[in-house]
Structure 1
Amino acid sequence: MKRICLLFQLAGVIAFFYGCKPEPERTGVELKPLREKQVKIKDMFGVNGFEWDFYDDHYNFDTAKYNLIKTFSGFRHFLDWERIEPSKGVFRFNHKPEGGWSYDEIYQKCHKDSITVLMDLQITPSWIVNTYPEAKRQRDLMPIEYKAVRDAPASYKEIGRAGFQIAARYGRNRNIDKKLILVPKETADPVIGLGYIKYLESSNEPDKWWKGKDSEQSPEEYAAQLSAFYDGDKGRLGKGVGVKTADPSMVVVMGGIAKPNVEYVKRMVEWCKKHRGLKKDGKIDLCFDVINYHMYSNDYTGWFASFRSKGRGVAPETNDMTKIAGTFTDYVKELGQEIPIWSTETGYDVSEKSIQRAIPIGSKSAEVTQADWILRLGLLYARLGIDKLFFYQLYDNNDPGTETSNPFGFSGLVSKNKRRPAADYIYQVTRLMGNYSYYNTISKDPVVDIYSYQNKKMYVLLVPDETDRKENYQLDLGAGIKKAVIYKLNPGSSSMNVKEVATEDGFLNLEVTETPMFVEAK
């Protein structure tokens, strides 16, 4: 008996030295969706920009520039309030006849091509700024007159009225009293109910502490603003005030907070509970429909997390982004009210002087690393249950060859007439699997995520690092699967590199890198 055992042991040693491998074992565990809510992966790839991004220097709609914008599923429009209300109570939305941009044209084009528009009404107009002493005037003041009560919804009636006018024009409700429309050039036949926009955001980064106390709002002060903007403080501010007053189907997105601290949102909710009460179903009558926070993946998070300065951007999985996203998703579960969570600003710069910068890694340039990290950031947030993401931003703020201390000066995802690698990656991925939703994760390092759409599955593999690390991984596509298709990203192109390979009874041996790769069973 001992002799037989020794023979088997000897056979095992011989097999080892001659490269024979034992048959890999299947787990037999049936994976189920990790969450009921299904967010399409293309919703992770919106972009920030301005109205002039759609036009040439002569205010003609620029088809070439628009074709670049169509790379992205969503467009967060930074809209300066004064551009649609140049003087108090006087609105205009179509500047084109006099030479200018037409918001109607921009939003109509985006609506037609299924680009989700989030209008962010920002920057306090000069007719409010001028109520302040000259030494205090700046464009980022909170949107109330000088010495108005900061935490009273009535102080924010003007921005509530602006919300009504926007929702009346671009929302879906055509049953609006036209006498309430304040567009003088359309008095005879006001334009309402165009149906181009669903999402409105009131201000940008209301907690902007770096601008001083006349600009920085507490959670309670900002909640008061949102209550006016949302529904005219439950109708208490009169007719023609509030987004929901014009169109109850519109979605109000809270301004993305610069400090990604969930306590800010919690205090807003408490304000709503105290001042707006409960709905008939017992839920808090909130003055926002979407939670929104900003976080850039760098090591400069001293205000909230531990400070570990490298003076640059870092790969998204190596920062506190996962932990911070978890504080928001956990709070929504605790609150018991289904509220989407968005992040409307994130991204990387490529200037060597920026604390937001992506770095060259291995043979990859900073632009290609920027592409890797932006794509991985979208995948990370999909994995964590964030509902929508917008990157900063479409074009660089700075002109080529210039340099300032602005850490966001060279954060563009496209140049004047072509996509950069980050936009190439977004274009390629959303065309491969834009309608797929995150399903589950079967490995954390390397990351192996599963996405699903109808009866199809896509495996996404990546190394969550920033050191040019590579890992070998054996992917199990399932017994009986004879072939697989491997998709690899291709900077500078509209198409991925595609390769069909044979499997070993459904097993596929892969070298995984820090650039995501995609695999599906044939």
Structure 2
Amino acid sequence: MSKPIIILLSSFLVSLSSFAQTIQKIPLDGNRWYQLTNAEKGLQQLTDGDLYTPVDAQYDKIIPLHESYYPLLKGESMIIQSVRFYDWVGMSSQPFVLYIIDSNWTRKPIASFDGSKYDRWVGPYPNRPDIIQLDTPATNIMYLMLVSQNDYPSEMELYGTYKAPLPVTTVIKKKNPLSGLLGINGYEWNFSDARTDPFSIDPIRLKTVKQFGGFRHYMDWQKLEYRQGSYTYSPTRSGSWNYDAIYEACKKEGIPVLACLKTLPDWMLASYPDNLKDNENNPVFYGKNLSDPASYIEQAKVGFQYVARYGKNKNINPALLNVFDSSRFTGDEINTIKIGLGLIEYIECENERDKWWKGRKAYQTGREYAANLSAFYDGHKGSLGTGVGVKNADSSIKVVMAGVALASTDYFRGMIDWCKEFRGFLPDGSVNICWDIINYHLYTNDSKAQRGIAPELKSNNTNADSTAKAFILNAAIYLNNMPVWVTETGYDINPGSPNKAIVVGNKTVLQTQADWLLRTALLYARNGIEKQFFYQLEDDNTGSPKLYATSGLLGDALSNRPAADYIYQTKMQFGNYVFNQSLNADPIVDEYLLNDTGKMYVVYIPDEKGRTGVYTLQIGNADSAYIYTPTAGASEMTVSKFKVNNGNIIVNASETPVFVKPVGRSGGNPTTVTGIQLFPNPVKHSITIQGLQNGKQQHLTVFNSIGKRVSQAITTSNTFQMNMASLPTGIYYLEIRNNDQKQTLSFIKSN
């Protein structure tokens, strides 16, 4: 179609000329709109200045006639005196309506658009299209709101007076250990053998879980509350699992647990008509109002009971607690009331509450889910009675919002605004939010090609990097840098899956899966995501082409696939390091720190073509460097030592990340830092520390490469020896500390 000639009526031109002399165009940031439905694309085109590219209608939205919000930021204000829309593509019978929401949460329509005047600007009233001035100026504006179905004007402009917002909160990158990005999703049967003894912990299964940096426990409500009001944990009434033993084993082994409460119990599901029965429905009795926190009281009660047992608070009235305390058969274990076991620090309320693919029965808007969370969090500020809400069982428990399936910040921004309206503000002026951690899911794939893609690449208008940045930025702007987690990501290995990893060069699908998962963790570390959990420990259905059926990091007989090897090796060797800065984009070169002193670098090509390259890495005054390469089928990375030349080392980069660790002088020569010498280095038996401050008490502590203390001593002499004979081979760090200073030196233990 040729570019049209814009024809404006003379009266409209006079009106526009007059109003332009007295008022200004109000600037609108198209990225600030959020939509209260499962819209994958934003509304940026509505205010981008392009008259002839319409807003994407997205016809498959779960809520067709939906609301979109534009919150004004702190210090920002506007008075709208005139509105105009560009009519380019025509409209259906459902008009587009612009509202304002004032400080009393009153919604007021101020303009509408019906698309009846093709290829021209029109005003706010369809029956008076040439007049753009509002009959009454819109004032006291807290939000702009749109209500629309499938059609929008191609452009919207507002005119009036405007005051810009105050500077937004700065993004604060937290120091998150790399091990926190190496978690895994799983179930009760990843700890116990259901075929033999579901009540006991299987040491072989426990060992597989220990390889990861955390465990997200998919926990069905049915297991906790088999019969309404009667709770089971050890054993669960459904399945005979021993949650006490699972969580005790995790705490003993240092495995952080995120308990994800999900699905409906049978007694609640029974309230649904047969054609709507699905245990992933919204967590309410059939017919309940999804916008009312009281509708979710049953879930808030089971949350209270669970946290009273596994949280830290021991001062809970036992009369509030109830367990199924009868035996089911001779010799059966019996549940007993336990309080404040201190085994769980995080609980996630539900999983993917935006299940649009299951229809409205399983989909909550962000505002509806906030009502759900308000009950679960603290019994809607205590209004739902005693024994309701996890914070009323343990105020220190951290509530993680359900990981949203559509990785868009729209969802939690709707949750924030519900909290503003119905929970209000705290004394410090912040919103009374009913969750502690933002959470989303993201599987990087190409829907057109029906396969997974490398995490750094872009497809379907999004990618992992830009999505992470958006979540971190919005967490800063709206929630004072609330932590952000990603609790599901992964790739299938079956060639029929639309989320499959692919053969890259001479690498197998399993090796590609390993590369991409490790690089996903490194990408999120770089962006400031605090924790991440891979989907998942074992396949749902080995051999099935179904989506996510073969995402397991373990294969037959609980054997590691390469991905599990890569994750375990990274956790053991570099899990305590924190991201510090990026030095290069392609190849990616990231710098990590240990205890703010020891450095490590990660180098890799962000692609899926089998590309290789070289990078000259500057590592200062180190004498040499060890390069660690993740290795399938091994318990440790392959290590190679290279000499540093004028402070530089050339690193061969591929699509498998390598880790570069600078070290001091090699052989029998001493390493010198501010006058202190360590020798020999590498060491086989005893290492000598020379140059200490004579007569002054100094604490000597040796840490392994993951930051665990393995030896310590105190001396007041100038020279001291420490026996290293019993230590495994590897890189170690000696911390020398006195009242005046602390410094860290590295050395190598050899055979």
Q: What SS class does the counterpart of residue 218 from structure 2 fall into? A: strand
The aligned counterpart of 1:467 is 609
1:53 to 187, 190, 204: 190
The aligned counterpart of 1:190 is 337
1:514 to 624, 637, 655: 655
Please tell me whether residue 299 in structure 1 is matched to residue 442 in structure 2: no
Is contact 1:35–1:439 with CA below 8 Å preserved after alignment? no
Is contact 1:395–1:413 with CA below 8 Å preserved after alignment? yes
Cα offset, 1:36, TM superposition? 4.8
**Structure with more relative contact order (C-alpha pairs < 8 Å, separation 6 or more):** 1
The aligned counterpart of 2:629 is 488
Runs (5+) with no aligned partner, structure 1: 1-33, 301-308
Q: Which amino acid aligns with 1:196?
A: L
* Superposed counterparts of 1:74-93, under 5 Å: 74-93=214-233
Q: What SS class does the counterpart of residue 487 from structure 1 fall into? A: strand
Please tell me whether residue 273 in structure 1 is matched to residue 273 in structure 2: no
Cα offset, 1:190, TM superposition? 2.1
Please tell me whether residue 419 in structure 1 is matched to residue 560 in structure 2: yes
1:288 to 431, 435, 442: 435
Is contact 2:224–2:237 with CA below 8 Å preserved after alignment? no
Q: Which amino acid aligns with 1:214?
A: K
Please tell me whether residue 317 in structure 1 is matched to residue 456 in structure 2: yes
Cα offset, 1:505, TM superposition? 1.7
Is contact 1:173–1:192 with CA below 8 Å preserved after alignment? yes
Q: Which amino acid aligns with 1:219?
A: G
Q: 1:382 to 1:96 in 2, by over 3 A?
A: same
Cα offset, 1:407, TM superposition? 1.1
Whole-angstrom distance in 2 between the partners of 1:97 and 1:282: 45
Cα offset, 1:35, TM superposition? 5.4
The aligned counterpart of 2:290 is 150
- Identity, in percent, stands at 42
Whole-angstrom distance in 2 between the partners of 1:39 and 1:97: 38
The aligned counterpart of 1:139 is 279
* Superposed counterparts of 1:229-268, under 5 Å: 229-268=376-415
Cα offset, 1:97, TM superposition? 10
Is contact 2:424–2:432 with CA below 8 Å preserved after alignment? yes
Q: What SS class does the counterpart of residue 283 from structure 2 fall into? A: coil
2:243 to 80, 100, 103: 103
The aligned counterpart of 1:219 is 366
User: Residues 334-377 of structure 1, C-alpha deviation per residue, up to 9 Å, x if partnerless?
Assistant: 12523110010001110101111111111110001000000000
The aligned counterpart of 2:24 is none
Q: What SS class does the counterpart of residue 317 from structure 1 fall into? A: coil
Cα offset, 1:98, TM superposition? 10
User: Residues 238-284 of structure 1, C-alpha deviation per residue, up to 9 Å, x if partnerless?
Assistant: 00000000000000000000001101110100000110000111110
Q: List structure 1 runs of 4+ shifted beyond 4 angstroms.
A: 96-99, 186-189
Q: Which amino acid aligns with 2:185?
A: N
Whole-angstrom distance in 2 between the partners of 1:98 and 1:322: 41
Whole-angstrom distance in 2 between the partners of 1:241 and 1:344: 26
Larger helix percent: 1
Whole-angstrom distance in 1 between the partners of 2:568 and 2:276: 45
Please tell me whether residue 62 in structure 1 is matched to residue 202 in structure 2: yes
The aligned counterpart of 2:589 is 448
Q: Which amino acid aligns with 1:86?
A: Y
User: Residues 450-498 of structure 1, C-alpha deviation per residue, up to 9 Å, x if partnerless?
Assistant: 00012100010000000000111111111x3221111111111111111
Larger strand percent: 2
Whole-angstrom distance in 1 between the partners of 2:561 and 2:172: 33
Cα offset, 1:95, TM superposition? 1.5
Q: What SS class does the counterpart of residue 159 from structure 1 fall into? A: helix
User: Residues 124-182 of structure 1, C-alpha deviation per residue, up to 9 Å, x if partnerless?
Assistant: 11111111122221111111111111110000000000110011000000000110001
The aligned counterpart of 1:398 is 541
Is contact 1:482–1:505 with CA below 8 Å preserved after alignment? no
Is contact 2:223–2:236 with CA below 8 Å preserved after alignment? no
Whole-angstrom distance in 2 between the partners of 1:238 and 1:88: 17
Q: 1:101 to 1:135 in 2, by over 3 A?
A: same
Whole-angstrom distance in 2 between the partners of 1:474 and 1:98: 58
Cα offset, 1:100, TM superposition? 2.1
Cα offset, 1:447, TM superposition? 0.3
The aligned counterpart of 1:371 is 514
Q: 1:50 to 1:514 in 2, by over 3 A?
A: same
Q: What SS class does the counterpart of residue 344 from structure 1 fall into? A: strand
Q: 1:184 to 1:417 in 2, by over 3 A?
A: closer
Q: 1:97 to 1:242 in 2, by over 3 A?
A: closer
Q: 1:350 to 1:98 in 2, by over 3 A?
A: closer
Q: What SS class does the counterpart of residue 382 from structure 2 fall into? A: coil
Q: What SS class does the counterpart of residue 330 from structure 1 fall into? A: helix
Whole-angstrom distance in 2 between the partners of 1:337 and 1:358: 37
Q: Which amino acid aligns with 1:156?
A: Y
Is contact 1:396–1:411 with CA below 8 Å preserved after alignment? yes
Whole-angstrom distance in 1 between the partners of 2:481 and 2:630: 35
Larger displacement relative to structure 2 (336-345 or 164-173): 336-345
Cα offset, 1:329, TM superposition? 0.8
TM-score, normalisation: structure 2: 0.62
Whole-angstrom distance in 1 between the partners of 2:571 and 2:481: 26
Q: What SS class does the counterpart of residue 417 from structure 2 fall into? A: helix
Please tell me whether residue 429 in structure 1 is matched to residue 588 in structure 2: no
Q: 1:467 to 1:136 in 2, by over 3 A?
A: same
TM-score, normalisation: structure 1: 0.89
Count of residues in correspondence between the two structures:
477
Whole-angstrom distance in 2 between the partners of 1:98 and 1:87: 10
The aligned counterpart of 1:356 is 499
Is contact 2:223–2:237 with CA below 8 Å preserved after alignment? no
Is contact 1:84–1:91 with CA below 8 Å preserved after alignment? yes
User: Residues 361-417 of structure 1, C-alpha deviation per residue, up to 9 Å, x if partnerless?
Assistant: 111100010000000000000001111000100000014xx424x211110001232
Runs (5+) with no aligned partner, structure 2: 1-170, 327-333, 664-751
Q: Which amino acid aligns with 1:490?
A: T
The aligned counterpart of 2:308 is 168
Please tell me whether residue 389 in structure 1 is matched to residue 532 in structure 2: yes
User: Residues 208-257 of structure 1, C-alpha deviation per residue, up to 9 Å, x if partnerless?
Assistant: 01111111111111111100000000000000000000000000000000
Q: Which amino acid aligns with 2:619?
A: L
Whole-angstrom distance in 1 between the partners of 2:377 and 2:237: 32
Q: 1:445 to 1:67 in 2, by over 3 A?
A: same
User: Residues 175-221 of structure 1, C-alpha deviation per residue, up to 9 Å, x if partnerless?
Assistant: 00110001142999620100000000111100001111111111111
Whole-angstrom distance in 2 between the partners of 1:444 and 1:338: 26
Q: What SS class does the counterpart of residue 325 from structure 2 fall into? A: helix
Q: Which amino acid aligns with 2:256?
A: T
Is contact 1:253–1:289 with CA below 8 Å preserved after alignment? yes
Cα offset, 1:111, TM superposition? 1.0
Whole-angstrom distance in 2 between the partners of 1:94 and 1:366: 40
